[in-house]
Chain A
Amino acid sequence: MTIASQAPQAPQTSLRPITMAILAMGGEGGGVLSDWTVALAEANGYYAQSTSVAGVAQRTGATVYYVELFPRFDGDVELPYPVLSTMPTPGEVDIVVASELMEAGRAIQRGFVTPDRSTLIASTSRTYSMPERTAMGDGRVDSQGIIDAAKGASATFIRGDFARVAEESRSVISAVLFGAICGAGVLPFTRDQFEDAIRRGGKGVETSLAAFDGGYNVASAPPAVDIQIGVRPASAEAPAEDPSDSIARSSAGDLVGEQLQVQAHRIMEDFPAAARPMLVHGIKRTAEYQDVSYADAYLDRVARVRAFETDPDGEARLTTEAARYVALWMTYEDTIRVAFHKTRERRFARIEGESRVGDKDIMQVHEYLHPQIEEITDTLPTALGRWMLRTKWINALVYKVTHKGIKIQTSSLWGFTVLYLLARLRPIRPRSLRFALEQERIDAWLDRVCAIAPSDYALACEVVELQQLVKGYGETHANGMRNFMAIMDVLSRLQSSPDAAITAAKLRSAALADESGRALRQTIDALPTA
């Protein structure tokens, strides 16, 4: 036989590579992280091989980088170049690094993380997936579920909000993760050796080293297992209770100024403790929106519902949710409200922070407004608004000015003045077309709630929560209102059924399933005819 042949040799099975999988998304520097790891290993007596699927990595998709490290020396003897794998073998991965929490979940799902072997180093930060972002309501998956799974699936689980560490050090997450790998003590190299690998890379060395330090501290801090940093809760979807809530329950007056003391007193007297935090928010919101007497009107409305509260010493769900949704509806979005918020001082300060405006820099802010004729006439006194809607040339003029949208620079003298004057229209709001209409709708809705509550508390709560559908502006608001009305119309068909509340909840989620209202129509059509 002439083929190249190699006789059998005794295998040295005691040596196996260190295997590391990096799960990241395009643009996060997963490639940089694997390059650093290879450079680190090669400079310190190891062979290293990394593979990736380029291209996909650059375009926001999830991707896996895979690195294998193998010692170059056995004692003093230099070993030949080993046969390394180009892909991770499920169940055989020593270190799994995930730049984001759902990617950590993906690593578990793909079997890269196993409880016998794997150290999982993951950022608890979330980069939301498309379905999570495009949901009409809250479509986010439960972070805590992923964290719990990760604890069970890994031998060691090291986590932290590494994205925030990167943001704080004005660097990229790859440098933070490199620090976390070092801090986790899972690679046979010293901190100096890690840092040298960054230095040799030569790009943005100082910021990368700062980020590295942040990651190192998180991963090396005791306890070695189950680490999280900061005061934020581990799960973004389950925010910790606001500390002011307990104050609201015991002494609401401490949370409001002198103008609202009467209302705060009334909250303490007339409303269940569980609903008080929401009511405190509600009186401030309505008073800010219109005036103090509007806050009184708000409390009157919630008080109507409170009369049917059957659980005042417990959760008081009906009252609490009424406190929430009555306030939201009463402070419906109109041009006056938008102009008010756009001109506030605290908004300017917030934007400066977000845009990272330096001391000597100058910031300018531009708005993108697209008022429809209805939104303009809505804010005007009823008679004037009606006349404008009827009058063709007014319509044409408004269309001409607004149909392509208006850009206003709020930071300019002229732009600020326009918005400021709009916000100053607040006192005439109660005389507007829209105001009257909304008050009418609110009262009709609450009438319905009060009619249902004595016989079906749970359904009444659902009807209160239907207000969630009415939000946004223009067409979005119109679609939401259409869905809201459609469900209100079929309520009578549910009322006698024992699981009416469950059906109502289903209708509400159907309304949030798509923009066209198709899912809601189908669900309604499928209801038994009364």
Chain B
Amino acid sequence: MAERSFTEEVKKLRMGDGEEFQGEGILAVTKALLQSGVSYVGGYQGAPISHLMDVLSDAQDILEELDVYFENSASEATAGAMLAASVHYPLRGAVTFKSTVGFNVASDALANLASGGVTGGALVIIGEDYGEGASIMQERTHAFAMKSQMWLLDPRPNLDAIVNMVEKGFELSEVSNTPVILELRLRSCHLTGSFTAKDNRRPDMTVREAVDNPRRDLSRIVLPPASFLHEQEKVNKRWPAAVEFIKKNGLNETIANGSQDFGIILQGGLFNNVNRALELMGLSDAFGNSQIPLYVMNVTYPVIDDEIVDFCADKKAVLLVEEGQPDFIEQNIQTILRRNDATVKLHGKDLLPVAGEYTPAAVTKGVHAFISKYGPGLLEGQPLPAVTTPDGDPRNPFTPRIDGDLVQGRPPGFCTGCPERPIFAALTLAQREVGEHYISADIGCHLFSINPPFAIGATTMGYGLGSASASALGAGGAEKRPIAFMGDGGFWHNGLTSGVGNAVFNENDQLLVVVDNEYSAATGGQDVLSSQADTPNRSTKHPIEAAVRGIGVKWARTMTNTFKVDEMRDLFKEALTTKDKGPKVIVAQSECTLNRMRRERPAKAAAVKAGKRVVTERFGVDPETCTGDHSCIRISGCPSLTIKDNPDPMRKDPIATTLSSCVGCGLCGENAHAAALCPSFYRSEVIVNPGPWDRFKAALRSRYIGFLQRGIERRLAGLEPA
């Protein structure tokens, strides 16, 4: 069960002809798939395309009605390979994942797919995790498109354009026998807007019909001599077919061509930013009526030679707005212009940033510089965009207006009540006793350990590769062994073989901690093989410890409650000092709090309403005994454990305090014990709708305690004024 429910959104997937669909970009794509008669969909969750997977998971009944097969792929490689169903059959298939990391994993399958080519439309929908908010290395998907020859669509960020591109993408794939990539930028996936829906379409052929009629064609299999033939086919047959389709269907756009003797070529995904830049100079309006000729590349690969040459024919200069590096498109266009002896001057990364996100500010500055050079007259009498005003101008946004020390970074971190926090608290305590160790991190929420207060983890080499990236340092024979982390998501994605199997086979001396929070939590709480939930369409509850033992690990322990910090700490110590050979595996298992709360909160509220006895717990700090040294925070970092003014007029340092967002996870108490912290923590239990026995006990206690307390106050009576 994903952390967000899409019940409402699922209803939108049923919309028919003419209805107005309002919603998020990624949901519009989902609807577009159903409108395109897709036969099967797969993928691997990850920002920013998780919602596509989540909404389809929640839409099982619609998919069944339409006979569409949907799979939660084990990895992007699985998803890529799934498209093999479109090689011989006219089945339309789509897979989705985040890029470029997903593409790295999928590229073996996709390279093979692209070599033999496809019969049915094959669409790879990628969420480009680039720029602000991205969580991965900054690279371009463009390289994958070029190396395997897959067409790359980069539509304008509005829902109509995106939906249209899904449909056209399938057609393009079919006419050119080539898989097509639909690239959606991070914010495009989450932008809200509307488009006019069409009826959903049952696939012309379903996967069941296909498998009942087996087909094969030797010429499509990637093995010599066919593989050599494929390479020729790519350039001689598929490329020209694609170019023709793209031109005929007008997938790329020109705007205001002929109006100036210079123009701008841009990636479709950057259209809104370029238009905004022009708007700020008075050279376009909110409806995209640009005064400057634009060539909008909604298809960024292949680059259409004729269209480039035509657009440049009447111009002395063009500016290419191409985000990211290397400048593949700029190089490509230079080649085209040179081959055609064009005299136009091509600008690009000489006026725009060589690397980094093309934000509105970056684009505005570059476009302004370009127009200042080639059409300065157009700028006369027009407003100056704020980002181009001189320093000190009231409009200039870059004039420093606040002392940098007053604003500190606030990276994402472990949630309140996160069961992973105690793992790192315990490891911190264990390392105090057995010394610092080399720690290899992985991808997932547990990677938040690299930031304060834990500052644990030295490298992260990729999803599920935490163990593998500790392999050289686990050679053995040293006094210490490396510690590797891996999440349950990464474990099932590939870590079981790439990490655990590798360590067993090579007798690698490492401690592997598999953080099992019962979901692929960082991507939105999707189920994995070891999830504890009962789900109607998926097989779960496959224990990780059984898997590692099955692959040959001898030393394996499962901690079913990570909040027992002292036990966790002792287990770490044991695993770091045992003489046993081979990998040592600890499965640290507790449910993701975001998901648990999502399930339990409404249930609790309902129970309170129904008059049932409900106990709510939270932690607190006694201000009289807290001395404000904050060692409790340094071993936790919980967002609900913070500081406040010291109510004691004699003390200066702020004291620790808990916020009402505390969920009573128990870590503060466990830490107080395991780390021998101060006695200031208490846990309060509030019993709502108490039973008769509760009330009897409470009455008795209140009389006894009240009596003794009055005695205490009597001694103090003369100290305070009456």
Interface residue ranges of B485-530 to A (CB < 8 Å): 522-524
Q: Which residues of B contact A51 (CB under 8 A)?
A: 187, 190-192
Surface stretch bound by A, among B11-19, B278-286, B540-548: B278-286
Q: Which residues of B contact A355 (CB under 8 A)?
A: 616, 618, 620, 684, 686
Q: Are B721 and A254 in contact (CB under 8 A)?
A: yes
| A257-B720 in contact given A2-B250, A89-B387 (Cβ < 8 Å) | yes
Q: Are A59 and B386 in contact (CB under 8 A)?
A: no
Alpha-carbon gap, A369 to B642, bound state (A): 21
Q: Quick check: is B552 within 8 A (CB to CB) of the other chain?
A: no
B645 in complex: contacting residue of A115, A239, A345, CB < 8 Å: A239
Q: Quick check: is A268 within 8 A (CB to CB) of the other chain?
A: no
Q: Quick check: is A129 within 8 A (CB to CB) of the other chain?
A: yes
| A405-B673 in contact given A11-B285, A136-B630, A324-B650 (Cβ < 8 Å) | yes
* Chain B 440-466: CB-based contact to A (< 8 A → 1; otherwise 0): 000001001001110000000000000
Residue from A83, A285, A364 having most chain B Cβ neighbours under 10 A: A83
Q: Quick check: is A304 within 8 A (CB to CB) of the other chain?
A: no
Surface stretch bound by A, among B56-64, B222-230, B406-414: B406-414
Q: Quick check: is A493 within 8 A (CB to CB) of the other chain?
A: no
Q: What's the minimum C-beta distance from A89 to chain B, rounded to whole angstroms?
A: 4
Surface stretch bound by B, among A181-189, A222-230, A438-446, A465-473: A465-473
Q: What's the minimum C-beta distance from B571 to chain A, rounded to whole angstroms?
A: 15
Q: Are B637 and A278 in contact (CB under 8 A)?
A: no
* Chain A 245-276: CB-based contact to B (< 8 A → 1; otherwise 0): 00000000011111110000000000000000
Q: Are B634 and A59 in contact (CB under 8 A)?
A: no
Q: Which residues of A contact B645 (CB under 8 A)?
A: 236, 239
Q: Which residues of A contact B412 (CB under 8 A)?
A: 26, 56, 59-61
Q: Are A361 and B688 in contact (CB under 8 A)?
A: yes
Residue from B50, B523, B622, B668 having most chain A Cβ neighbours under 10 A: B622
Q: Quick check: is A106 within 8 A (CB to CB) of the other chain?
A: yes
| A341-B624 in contact given A3-B307, A236-B645, A239-B645 (Cβ < 8 Å) | yes
Q: Quick check: is B590 within 8 A (CB to CB) of the other chain?
A: no
Q: Are A113 and B401 in contact (CB under 8 A)?
A: yes
Alpha-carbon gap, A112 to B132, bound state (A): 15
Alpha-carbon gap, A141 to B61, bound state (A): 54
A515 in complex: contacting residue of B295, B631, B654, CB < 8 Å: B631
Q: Are B682 and A366 in contact (CB under 8 A)?
A: yes
Q: Are A370 and B673 in contact (CB under 8 A)?
A: yes
Q: Are B654 and A140 in contact (CB under 8 A)?
A: yes
Q: Are B133 and A53 in contact (CB under 8 A)?
A: yes
Q: Are A364 and B247 in contact (CB under 8 A)?
A: no
Alpha-carbon gap, A295 to B342, bound state (A): 95
B307 in complex: contacting residue of A1, A88, A324, A340, CB < 8 Å: A1
* Chain A 403-426: CB-based contact to B (< 8 A → 1; otherwise 0): 011010011110010001001000
Interface residue ranges of B645-669 to A (CB < 8 Å): 645, 649-654, 660-661, 668-669
Alpha-carbon gap, A328 to B686, bound state (A): 34
Q: Which residues of B contact A136 (CB under 8 A)?
A: 629-630
Q: Are A11 and B48 in contact (CB under 8 A)?
A: no
Q: What's the minimum C-beta distance from A171 to chain B, rounded to whole angstroms?
A: 12
Alpha-carbon gap, A404 to B413, bound state (A): 29
Q: Are A91 and B676 in contact (CB under 8 A)?
A: no
| A416-B704 in contact given A11-B285, A351-B682 (Cβ < 8 Å) | yes
Q: Are A55 and B50 in contact (CB under 8 A)?
A: yes
Q: Are B254 and A1 in contact (CB under 8 A)?
A: yes
Alpha-carbon gap, A162 to B555, bound state (A): 53
Q: What's the minimum C-beta distance from B421 to chain A, rounded to whole angstroms?
A: 12
Q: Quick check: is B709 within 8 A (CB to CB) of the other chain?
A: yes
Q: What's the minimum C-beta distance from A7 to chain B, rounded to whole angstroms?
A: 7
Q: Which residues of A contact B551 (CB under 8 A)?
A: none
Q: What's the minimum C-beta distance from A75 to chain B, rounded to whole angstroms?
A: 16
Q: Which residues of A contact B410 (CB under 8 A)?
A: 25, 60-62, 102-103, 106, 129-130
| A476-B677 in contact given A55-B524, A60-B412 (Cβ < 8 Å) | yes
Surface stretch bound by A, among B78-86, B117-125, B322-330, B692-700: B692-700
Q: Quick check: is A73 within 8 A (CB to CB) of the other chain?
A: no
Alpha-carbon gap, A230 to B234, bound state (A): 72
Q: Are B719 and A134 in contact (CB under 8 A)?
A: no
Interface residue ranges of A1-36 to B (CB < 8 Å): 1-13, 15-17, 25-27
Q: Are A114 and B672 in contact (CB under 8 A)?
A: no
Q: Which residues of B contact A411 (CB under 8 A)?
A: 701, 705
Surface stretch bound by B, among A144-152, A378-386, A498-506: A144-152
Contact count band on B: 35 or more
Q: What's the minimum C-beta distance from B473 to chain A, rounded to whole angstroms?
A: 25
Contact count band on A: 35 or more
Q: Quick check: is A431 within 8 A (CB to CB) of the other chain?
A: no
Q: Quick check: is A82 within 8 A (CB to CB) of the other chain?
A: yes
Q: Are A54 and B708 in contact (CB under 8 A)?
A: no
Q: Quick check: is B576 within 8 A (CB to CB) of the other chain?
A: no
Q: Which residues of A contact B445 (CB under 8 A)?
A: 59
Surface stretch bound by A, among B141-149, B170-178, B388-396: B388-396
Q: Are A13 and B685 in contact (CB under 8 A)?
A: no
Q: Which residues of B contact A3 (CB under 8 A)?
A: 247, 250, 252-254, 295, 307
Q: Are B47 and A54 in contact (CB under 8 A)?
A: yes
Q: Are B387 and A333 in contact (CB under 8 A)?
A: no
Alpha-carbon gap, A471 to B626, bound state (A): 9
Q: Are A370 and B679 in contact (CB under 8 A)?
A: yes
Nearest to A7 among chain B residues (CB) is B256
Alpha-carbon gap, A182 to B668, bound state (A): 40
Q: Which residues of B contact A333 (CB under 8 A)?
A: 625, 627, 678
Q: Quick check: is A90 within 8 A (CB to CB) of the other chain?
A: yes
Q: Which residues of B contact A521 (CB under 8 A)?
A: none
Q: Quick check: is B713 within 8 A (CB to CB) of the other chain?
A: yes
| A362-B705 in contact given A59-B412, A288-B716, A468-B652 (Cβ < 8 Å) | no
Q: Are B247 and A52 in contact (CB under 8 A)?
A: no
Surface stretch bound by A, among B89-97, B269-277, B345-353: B269-277
| A114-B386 in contact given A91-B395, A367-B682 (Cβ < 8 Å) | yes
* Chain A 357-394: CB-based contact to B (< 8 A → 1; otherwise 0): 11011111111111010000000000000000000000
Q: Are A412 and B701 in contact (CB under 8 A)?
A: yes
Q: Are B452 and A364 in contact (CB under 8 A)?
A: no
Q: Quick check: is A401 within 8 A (CB to CB) of the other chain?
A: no
Alpha-carbon gap, A239 to B48, bound state (A): 44
Interface residue ranges of A314-348 to B (CB < 8 Å): 324, 327-328, 333, 337-338, 340-345, 347-348
| A405-B288 in contact given A6-B253, A347-B624, A515-B634 (Cβ < 8 Å) | no
Q: Quick check: is B377 within 8 A (CB to CB) of the other chain?
A: no
Alpha-carbon gap, A114 to B628, bound state (A): 38
Q: Are B254 and A137 in contact (CB under 8 A)?
A: no
Q: Quick check: is B610 within 8 A (CB to CB) of the other chain?
A: no
Nearest to B382 among chain A residues (CB) is A13
B387 in complex: contacting residue of A90, A108, A474, CB < 8 Å: A90
Which 5 A-B residue pairs are closest in the complex by CB-CB distance? A91-B386, A111-B397, A405-B673, A53-B133, A259-B718
Given contacts A62-B409, A138-B654, 10 further A-B contacts (CB under 8 A): A2-B247, A12-B286, A49-B193, A55-B47, A138-B652, A149-B402, A345-B710, A357-B686, A405-B674, A473-B627
Q: Can you identify 16 A-B contacts, CB atoms within 8 angstroms?
A: A16-B286, A27-B661, A52-B187, A53-B132, A55-B48, A55-B524, A70-B286, A86-B185, A129-B409, A130-B452, A133-B633, A342-B625, A360-B689, A361-B687, A370-B673, A474-B678
